[in-house]
Chains A and B, each alone.
Chain A
Amino acid sequence: MTSDITLLRAVTRSRFLVSAWPWRGIAYTATTAVAAGLLWLLLAVPLTPLVSAVWVLRSHPTSPDEAALRTGSDLFAAAVLGVVGVGLLALVMPRLALAVGEVERWRLRLADTAPVRARRIGNLYADPATWRAVAYLMLLGIVAPVWLAVLAVVGLLVVSTPVAVQHRAVSMDSAGSIAGRAVLGLVLVPVLLYLTSAFGGAHAALARLLLCAERDPAEAELVEVTRSRARLADAFDVERNRIERDLHDLAQQRLVSLTMQLGLAKLDLPDDSPAAAAVASAHAQAKTLMAELRDLVRGISPRTLRELGLRAAVEELAAGSPLRVRVDADPGRFPAAVETVAFAAVSEALANAVKHAGATEAVVTTRHAGGTLTVQVCDDGRGGADPARGSGITGLADRAAAADGRLLISSPPGGPTILRVELPCAS
């Protein structure tokens, strides 16, 4: 939502005057004037009894006797008128306010690009949204005319410039005075444009505040879904760490021990005994299994990443890769979830560079700036990576999204392939 442009924000931009925004500002302001006028027309019905009541009370009697006579009936009439007026207001105002809200929300599209959503209305009188809409009526009916009047004065000065200049010319004023008036008119043009959009923008911002729901329920749900996905990803990480630890503590140590025992057994067997060949084979298989298990476990949860952070882990990954990999990484630790996704991205990119792109070299860069960790892997392979086909890239994009980040990939046929992951992180 914050990326949407509003009239108020557009005014502060350097290229405001050459954009479409001044025209939108004028359109919004002009329609605001029309809306305010119509509002007063509509309010005339419920306000008439009240105004009459006040008028009755304030009309001066012609003599003291008459005054004494009239006071009773006047008070009664005023009271009736007052009750009718207040009743009418109570009946009409909320409904009128909601109707005006509808129109105003529609009109807001002139003033900003953010989507507009109605506030929920439950019980008409109980829902705060109703009273916010009524507050907006005050804004439109009372505050808006004030700034509209200011704009009208400036606008008149601008519009009247040709007439005024001509008039001074005819009445033979000094050339300086004529030029001064013309310059004033010209200078006031941008001022008028800025003022119009600033007032209009401020009004629109208040209108949005009073009339629009900040966030609709669906969006709140979306946020919750994102959060729950992030929690799930975290839970997976925790689980992966646990599996890695269990495998290390139990399987790997036992396997090392077993292989060592086989190695010892081999020593004691005469080379030509039937058991020697079998034990040697078992020993060799156990050694292969150790290497395979190590790679498997490292894939599940890279220890260096947990213990020493992203840079050390990426450097080790680079060292183990058959590619020539240059690593240019910012030091420092980041939240575990961020490091895990960033590392997975580098790992996936390097693996793809070897497997699919036939690359020989790669450059890994990690940068932490402006609350975002950017990790980029660029290889010199043949390119043509299609995110739609590789489940690795898709899974990576999912993990990046769960961490509130995004994954970008550029891989034209012929290369190079550039994979970039951007992850928000404060630290």
Chain B
Amino acid sequence: MRVVIAEDSVLLREGLVGLLSRFGFDVVAAVGDAAALVAAVDDTTPDLVVTDVRMPPNFTDEGLRAAVAVRAAHPGLAVVALSQYVQHSYAGELLGSGDGRAIGYLLKDRVADVAEFADVLRRVAAGGTVVDSEVVRQLMQRGRDPLAHLSTREREVLALIAEGHSNAAIARILVLTEAGVSKHISSVLAKLHLPVSDDTNRRVLAVLAYLRGQQ
């Protein structure tokens, strides 16, 4: 899988290149700013872009702008944005680009768990939507009344759905049977009046829209 990395810190950029190579990704370009990212994507037509949100020259949201731009120019290009902080406005903007598929918004911390990080990249490259658990935690903390009707287990399930996990992954994380997970998911979606769907992506987007819509 062909990957372009954009990260202004040289140390971290080299580290990411090493990590991705180690997990079998083909890093075709590693750049240090947003303009170079756009150029590299045009040149190399990768399958996946991993970009820092904050990059030169202004160190605000250049990486995110570039990500939105390359997604507009290359529909279907998978993008994972790494951010030092959870910034809901940025996360929302990224999720709103394109059809919301093949998108990841993660805290930079997540690269520390190297295997899980590589797994997230593969899921996004395969068209999945992955949202950092911290974003989901904060969204769920807005404590809307319908959420109060969920049991603890159902809230856990909802969070995992929002993070973009499949039924199988949820079953593995919560140590449940897949049948048990399916039952919980149906119950959660019913309580929130969301359409029941086995398509993980459609489900993620519906749940995120639900959580974000109540800001």
Q: Is A287 an interface residue (CB 8 A)?
A: yes
**Are A319 and B11 in touch, CB under 8 angstroms?**
no
Residues of A within 8 A of B84 (CB): 248, 252, 294
Residues of A within 8 A of B119 (CB): none
**Are B11 and A253 in touch, CB under 8 angstroms?**
yes
A320 to B87, CA, bound (A): 11
Q: How far is the CB of A371 from chain B (nearest CB, A)?
A: 27
**Are A260 and B54 in touch, CB under 8 angstroms?**
no
Q: How far is the CB of B58 from chain A (nearest CB, A)?
A: 9
**Are B85 and A256 in touch, CB under 8 angstroms?**
no
A298 and B85 in contact, given A261-B15, A319-B142 (Cβ under 8 angstroms): yes
Residues of B within 8 A of A259 (CB): 109, 111-112
**Are B60 and A307 in touch, CB under 8 angstroms?**
yes
Partner of A260, one of B59, B88, B114: B114
Q: Is A262 an interface residue (CB 8 A)?
A: yes
Total contacting residues, chain B, CB less than 8 A: 31
Q: Is B162 an interface residue (CB 8 A)?
A: no
Residue of B nearest to A250 (CB): B9
Q: Is B61 an interface residue (CB 8 A)?
A: yes
Partner of B15, one of A260, A308, A320: A260
Residues of A within 8 A of B152 (CB): none
**Are B143 and A324 in touch, CB under 8 angstroms?**
yes
Residues of B within 8 A of A262 (CB): 112
**Are A256 and B108 in touch, CB under 8 angstroms?**
yes
Q: How large is the interface on A (under 10, 10 to 19, 20 to 34, 35 or more residues)?
A: 35 or more
**Are B61 and A290 in touch, CB under 8 angstroms?**
no
A319 and B139 in contact, given A303-B87, A308-B89 (Cβ under 8 angstroms): yes
Q: Is A278 an interface residue (CB 8 A)?
A: no
Q: Is B86 an interface residue (CB 8 A)?
A: yes
**Are A316 and B109 in touch, CB under 8 angstroms?**
no
Partner of B113, one of A263, A291, A307, A316: A263
A189 to B11, CA, bound (A): 89
A306 to B144, CA, bound (A): 29
A316 to B54, CA, bound (A): 18
Q: Is A304 an interface residue (CB 8 A)?
A: yes
Residue of B nearest to A319 (CB): B138
Q: Is B115 an interface residue (CB 8 A)?
A: yes
**Are B141 and A245 in touch, CB under 8 angstroms?**
no
**Are A257 and B11 in touch, CB under 8 angstroms?**
yes
Q: Is A322 an interface residue (CB 8 A)?
A: yes
Residues of A within 8 A of B61 (CB): 307
**Are A320 and B114 in touch, CB under 8 angstroms?**
no
A257 to B143, CA, bound (A): 35
Determine the main DSSP class of A at the interface with B: helix
Q: Is B149 an interface residue (CB 8 A)?
A: no
Residues of A within 8 A of B89 (CB): 304, 308, 312
Partner of B59, one of A245, A257, A298, A320: A245
Residue of A nearest to B22 (CB): A264
What string of 1s and 0s marks CB contacts (under 8 Å) between B70-108 and chain A? Answer: 000000000000001111110000000000000000001
**Are B111 and A260 in touch, CB under 8 angstroms?**
yes
**Are B11 and A294 in touch, CB under 8 angstroms?**
no
Q: How far is the CB of B203 from chain A (nearest CB, A)?
A: 22
Q: Is A401 an interface residue (CB 8 A)?
A: no
Residues of A within 8 A of B19 (CB): 260, 264
Partner of A316, one of B16, B22, B88, B143: B88
A382 to B109, CA, bound (A): 37
Residues of A within 8 A of B86 (CB): 316, 319-320
A325 to B141, CA, bound (A): 9
**Are A264 and B18 in touch, CB under 8 angstroms?**
yes
A126 to B89, CA, bound (A): 66
A259 to B111, CA, bound (A): 8
A315 to B114, CA, bound (A): 31
Q: How far is the CB of A362 from chain B (nearest CB, A)?
A: 12
Q: Is B12 an interface residue (CB 8 A)?
A: yes
Q: Is A219 an interface residue (CB 8 A)?
A: no
A294 to B109, CA, bound (A): 10
**Are A319 and B141 in touch, CB under 8 angstroms?**
yes
**Are A287 and B11 in touch, CB under 8 angstroms?**
no
- What would 5 A/B residue contacts be, using CB atoms closer than 8 Å? A260-B114, A263-B113, A263-B114, A304-B87, A320-B141
A-B pairs with the 7 shortest C-beta distances? A253-B9, A259-B112, A319-B138, A263-B114, A324-B143, A257-B15, A257-B11
- Contacts A253-B11, A253-B12, A312-B87 given; 11 further ones with Cβ under 8 A? A254-B9, A254-B11, A256-B15, A257-B9, A257-B11, A264-B18, A303-B85, A304-B85, A308-B87, A312-B89, A316-B138
